[in-house]
Amino acid sequence: MNIAKVIIDLSLDKSFDYLIPDELQRRVHVGVQVHVPFGRSKRRGYVLNIVAESEYDKPLKSILSIAERHCRIPEKLMELGRWMAEYYCCSREKAVRALLPGAVRSGKVKHKILRLFSVATPCEAEKFVIEHTDCKRRAGQVSVVKYLLTAQSVAQEQLLRGAGVTMSPVNSLLKKNIISEEKRIVRRDPFADITVVRSQPLTPNPEQAKALQTISGVLANPGDRHVVLIHGVTGSGKTEIYLQTIARILETGREAIVLVPEISLTPQTVQRFRARFGDLVCVLHSRLTEGERFDEWSKINDGLVKIVVGARSALFAPFRNLGLIVVDEEHESTYKQNEAPRYHARDLAVMRGKMENAVVLLGSATPSFESYYNAKQGKYLLVELFKRVDNCSLPQVKLIDQRLGISEPGHSNLFSPVLVNAIKDRLNAGEQTILFLNRRGYARQMMCDVCGFVAQCHSCSIAYTYHKKRESLACHLCGDVIRAYTRCPQCNSDKIRYSGSGTEKIESLAHGIFPTARIARMDSDTMRQASSYEDVLGHFKRGELDILIGTQMIAKGLHFPNVTLVGVLNADQGLYIPDFRSGERTFQLLTQVAGRAGRGDVSGEVLVQTYNPDNETIKYAVRHDFINFYKYDMAVREACHYPPDGHLTAVFFRSANLAECRQYALDFMEYLRPLCQPGITVTEPAPAPIERINGKYRYRIIFRGKKLHPLQQQLRRMLLQAKPVKGLDVYVDVDAYSLM
C-alpha cells in the first residue's frame, strides 16, 4: 500500500505519513487536498509526495477522504512551493497556503448551481398537475406547466420560485419522470456588463519587430536563458509585444500569466487583453469578491481559460501547460510580499519559468537594478526600446526651483506660478493634466505652536496624518484613527498648526485655484470600492475629468492620449529615506509619472517642482537617462556590497517589551556570529528606523554578502525549530525591499 506524505494546515514545517486506502489509490496524487485524522481531530492537508515505505515504525493511520476536486494543486506548483519555503525561510505549510486563494483553500465557497428543467411528456405533465393540486394551488401550478409546455425546453428554478410555486410539486414531477432536471454551474463574472471592442495586432515598428524576433528565438528554445528583460521607454509599445508573444504561445497550446503591480492597473490591462483574446482571459486580484475569486481560479483549474491577468498572487494560477509569464513594471516594490512567505513575485516568476520550461518577460521603462544587472551579466537577454510608438516624442521635462519662492502673493507654495499657468493653458485647450504627490491625507502632522506637542500614534513611532474631510488623525502604519484635536491635549491651546501636504490638500487647493475644472483624486483613501478604479479612470479616459490628482497608483502603466501635462509637486520627498534604494525609487517614480504625458498627437510637458535641483538622481530623471543613473548609483552599491552587487537578508525582532526585544536580538546575533564567514558584512542589532509599529518595538540585523544561502538555511532552521518566546516575534526577510 502506498504512503502519502501530508502537510497539515499548521506551521510545523513537517510532513506526516498516512496510508492511502485501496479505494483512493487512483485518486490521491501530489497536490491533492485530503482529510486526515490528526490527534483527536480531523484536519485538511496536502499531499507533498507519495512513497512506498515510511520511516516511522508505528502503525500509520489512513487518509479519510479527498477534499473537493477543485483543491488539487499542480505538481509543478507544489515544487515551486517547496522551493519558496526553503529560499524565503518559512514553513512549507505557509508556502503551500500562498499557492491557493483563501476562498479555494477553505472550501467554504462553492460553485453556484442552477437547476434546469425540461418537459419529458407534455400531456402526462398537464394531467399529473391537474390531478395532484388543490384548487388554491392549481392556477399557479398549471401556469408553471403551461410554461414548461410552451418553452418545450428549459425552465429555471428561480422563475418557478418567482411565480410563488414551491418546489415540492416539481420534485413530484421529477419522480414520475414527467420532467427531467439538469444542473449547471453558474460562474460569477467580474466582467459582467463590460463591453469590449475586439482589437487586431498592430504592425510592429523596427524596434518592436527586433524584440519579437529575439523573443521568438527564446520561445523555440528556452534553455538556461529563459528570461528576457524588455527595457523600453514609456510609450514604446511593450504591451503590444506582450500581446503578440501570448498569441504565439496560444498557437502552441500553452498558457500565459500576466502580472501587474497595482490593482488600479488591472482593469485597463484586462480590457486590452480581453480586446485581443476575448473569453480566454480571466483575472485574479484581491479586489474580487470571494465568490468571484473562487470562480476565476476554478476556470483556470478546469482549463476554461488560457490567460490570467492579476497582481502578484496570480503567479500561482494552476496552469498545467504554462508557456509564458509576463511581469509588467517589474521594478515595482509591490511585487514583494510583506508577510510570510516574503517572496518577490518577479524572482519567483523566474523560478517558476525555469521549473516549467516557460519563457519569462520582464518589462519596464526603469528596470530594477537587480534585473538590469542580471541582463548586463548575461543571465538574462536584454531587449531595448528607445523610441515611442507612432513617432511620439518623450515629454519635455522642466525643473522648477522652489527655493526661489512664490512670485504671486496669495498662492500656495505647493503650486508654483509656472505650474498654475501651465494647467490653465491645458484647461483652455481642452487637454488633461495629472498632478502627482506620493503622500495621501491633508497634512503630515499636527503641532501645537505653544508647547510643541506633536500628535503621534499611541502604538507607532510616527506622527498621525491629518485628514480634513473626515476631521480625523490617522496612522498610516497600524490604521488607528482618532478625532482631530480642536485644542492641544497637552496645554489646551488653540494654536494648532498642520504642516506638510498630501493629496487631499492638493485636491482642495486645486478646486480653489481652478474653480471650473473637473477634478478627481486617486489614492487609497478614495479608492475604497472594487469599482472605484474603473469609475475614475473611465471618466478620465472619456474626457469627463480635467485634472487627476494621485499617489503612485497613477504613476505607471496608464495610457491617456489627451494628457499633455504632468506636474510633480514635490520631487524630493523620497530622496532622504534611510534606505539604499531611495535614489532608485525616486528615479523610477519621476520617470514613470513623467511618461504619462504626451502619449497622443500633442507633445507632452512635465513640470518637476524641487528644492534640490542639483541632485544627481533628479537630473538623470529629467533627462530620461536610466543607463547613466544606473552607473552612477551602482558605484556606491559596489563599494558597500549592496544588491545587486551582493545579497541582503534582514532579520527583524518584534516585542511589546523593548528590553526583551533588544536582548533577544543581541543573543540571536551571538549565536549566529560563528556562522558569518569571511565576505559577510553584518549590521549589528539596532532599532529599526521606525522603531515601534502597532504597539511592538522593532530591532533588526542586516547581513550582506556574495553568498548568503548557507546562512539563510541556518536562519530557517533556527526560526522553525526554536521554542517560541511568548510575546516575541522573529522573522527573516530574504532580499528585503524595505529596511524601515
- Give the residue-averaged pLDDT of 722-730: 90
3-74 has CATH 3.40.1440.60 classification = yes
Closest CA to 4 of 57, 84, 96, 66: 66
Among 164-173, 395-404, 570-579, which stretch is predicted with the lowest mean pLDDT?
164-173
pLDDT value, residue 307? 97
Domain boundaries, the chain: 3-74, 112-186, 206-390, 396-442+501-631, 647-734
pLDDT value, residue 88? 96
**Phi, psi for residue 682 in degrees, rounded to 5:** -115, 130
- Counting every residue written for the chain, the total comes to 740
pLDDT value, residue 528? 79
Contact between 34 and 44 under an 8 Å Cβ cutoff? The reply is yes
pLDDT value, residue 552? 87
- Give the residue-averaged pLDDT of 543-557: 90
pLDDT value, residue 118? 61
> Alpha-carbon torsion 91, 95, 96, 102, what sign?
positive
Phi-psi region of 360 (alpha: psi -120 to 50; beta: other; left: phi over 0): beta
The rounded percent of the chain whose pLDDT value lies above 70 is 90
User: pLDDT tens-digit profile of 346-389?
Assistant: 999 999 999 999 999 999 999 999 999 999 999 999 999 999 98
- Tell me how far apart the alpha carbons of residues 414 and 99 are, in angstroms, rounded to a whole number: 45
Residue 259 — very low, low, confident or very high, per pLDDT cuts 50/70/90?
A: very high
User: pLDDT tens-digit profile of 36-85?
Assistant: 999 889 998 999 989 988 888 888 999 999 986 657 899 999 999 999 99
The rounded percent of the chain whose pLDDT value lies above 90 is 64
181 vs 393, residue with greater confidence: 393
- Give the residue-averaged pLDDT of 600-608: 89
Residue 269 — very low, low, confident or very high, per pLDDT cuts 50/70/90?
A: confident
Residue 122 — very low, low, confident or very high, per pLDDT cuts 50/70/90?
A: low
342 vs 289, residue with greater confidence: 342
Contact between 521 and 483 under an 8 Å Cβ cutoff? The reply is no
* pLDDT at residue 144 is higher than 70: no
Domain 206-390: CATH superfamily, name plus number: P-loop containing nucleotide triphosphate hydrolases (3.40.50.300)
pLDDT value, residue 458? 93
**What are the cell numbers at 521?**
483624486
Residue 427 — very low, low, confident or very high, per pLDDT cuts 50/70/90?
A: very high
* pLDDT at residue 422 is higher than 90: yes
Mean pLDDT for all residues in the chain? 87
CA distances from 633 to 583, 619, 621 (A): 8, 13, 13
Closest CA to 233 of 596, 604, 552, 603: 596
User: pLDDT tens-digit profile of 551-590?
Assistant: 988 887 778 889 999 999 999 888 888 889 999 999 999 9
* pLDDT at residue 169 is higher than 60: no
Alpha carbon 470 to chain centroid, angstroms: 28
User: pLDDT tens-digit profile of 606-651?
Assistant: 999 999 999 999 999 999 999 999 999 999 999 888 999 999 999 9
pLDDT value, residue 68? 67
pLDDT value, residue 69? 62
CA distances from 402 to 78, 333, 407, 565, 571 (A): 54, 29, 11, 19, 11
Which segments of 302-443 does DSSP mark as H helices, in order?
A: 345-355, 369-376, 417-429
Pick from 42-56, 172-186, 280-294, 438-452 the range whose average pLDDT is largest: 438-452
Residue 545 — very low, low, confident or very high, per pLDDT cuts 50/70/90?
A: very high
Residue 289 — very low, low, confident or very high, per pLDDT cuts 50/70/90?
A: confident
Residue 147 — very low, low, confident or very high, per pLDDT cuts 50/70/90?
A: very low
Fold of 647-734: Alpha-Beta Plaits (3.30.70)
396-442+501-631: CATH class? alpha beta
- Whole-prediction pTM value? 0.89
User: pLDDT tens-digit profile of 653-665?
Assistant: 999 999 999 999 9
* pLDDT at residue 135 is higher than 60: no
* pLDDT at residue 153 is higher than 60: no
User: Strand 112-119 relative to strand 65-66: parallel, antiparallel, unpaired?
Assistant: unpaired
Side chain identity at residue 232, one-letter code = G
User: Do 396-442+501-631 and 647-734 agree at the fold level?
Assistant: no
pLDDT value, residue 152? 35
The H-or-E segment that residue 605 falls in is strand 605-610
pLDDT value, residue 612? 92
The DSSP symbol for 311 reads S
CA distances from 286 to 72, 262, 290, 353 (A): 21, 10, 9, 24
Among 281-285, 579-583, 599-603, which stretch is predicted with the lowest mean pLDDT?
599-603
pLDDT value, residue 171? 66
CA count, 13 A, side-chain hemisphere, 333 = 14
- Give the residue-averaged pLDDT of 408-423: 82
Label residue 692 exposed, middle or buried (CB < 10 Å: 0-12, 13-18, 19+).
Answer: buried
Closest CA to 465 of 449, 454, 476, 453: 476
Contact between 684 and 669 under an 8 Å Cβ cutoff? The reply is yes
pLDDT value, residue 20? 94
